[in-house]
Amino acid sequence: MPDAPNQIDALMEQAGEALAGMRYLECERFCQRAIALARRANDMDRLSRIVMPLEEARRQRRQTAEDAGVTILTEKLSPDEIVQRHPRGCLMLLNPPFDAGDVAAVRELAARRGLFVEVLLMDQPRLKAAFLRAMEEQGDAALAQIARHDDPAQQVDALLALIDRIGDHEIAHQRLADAARAAAKGINRGDAETQM
């Protein structure tokens, strides 16, 4: 492949122009072609230099897709139906009914049509893990907003509201029990003082 370096350099010049012109999908295509040529020619030096513009083009594509929002698809549709209904955005295909072949087909079709689409296959165990992690993070963030120096009864009210809103957050329940015990001591101390 004697002219591979020249072909790769020409593709990378086109990729650079596309990137500078914010034509991210075009840049990505040029980079992919250049990477394939570089790998066939075993030109690892050139291949390593192609990665940065490829990464930037894909980052821009992902951010544009993120701005359009996330859609979770649970109804089995063909790749063509999916990209017609969702020409932009982050698409989460649940397994089942979708599989890795569906993800690849949607990704390829979106690329061919020049769409800002990201596709992710999510199975039930990973979806469950993401759900639990998000619940924990929300609970931690809400818990951090409750001042420990507040009156124990105020802490009890704030923590009751938190567990009603967040649900199963273990530390919030433990803090609620601690705050209730502290409030009970204050109430009991107040009762003892009024009896004197």
Task: Please write the tens of the pLDDT for every residue from 96-139.
Answer: 999 999 999 999 999 999 999 999 999 999 999 999 999 999 99
Same domain, 181 and 133: yes
Task: Please write the tens of the pLDDT for every residue from 47-104.
Answer: 999 999 999 999 999 999 999 999 999 999 999 999 999 999 999 999 999 999 999 9
CB atoms within 10 A of CB 90: 19
| Residue 193, domain member (yes or no) | no
| Residue 174, domain member (yes or no) | yes
Range of the domain at 45: 4-62
| Residue 22, domain member (yes or no) | yes
Task: Please write the tens of the pLDDT for every residue from 146-176.
Answer: 987 778 999 999 999 999 998 889 999 999 9
Same domain, 10 and 37: yes
Same domain, 56 and 75: no
Q: How confident is the model at residue 194 (pLDDT cuts 50, 70, 90)?
A: low
Same domain, 73 and 51: no
| Residue 141, domain member (yes or no) | yes
Instruction: Yes or no: say if 39 and 8 are a contact pair by the CB < 8 Å rule.
Output: no
For the entire predicted model, the pTM comes to: 0.72
Percent of the chain residues past pLDDT 70, beyond the cut: 94
Return the percent helix, strand and coil in the chain, to nearest 5. Answer: 70, 10, 20
Same domain, 50 and 87: no
| Residue 195, domain member (yes or no) | no
Structural domains of the chain, count: 3
| The CA-based dihedral angle spanning residues 171, 177, 183, 184, taken in that order and rounded to the nearest 10 degrees | -170
Q: What pLDDT does 6 receive?
A: 95
Query: Could you tell me where the beta strands, DSSP code E, fall in the chain?
Result: 70-73, 88-95, 116-123
Same domain, 43 and 83: no
Same domain, 76 and 32: no
Same domain, 109 and 135: no
**Which of 36, 62, 88 is the C-terminal boundary of a domain?**
62
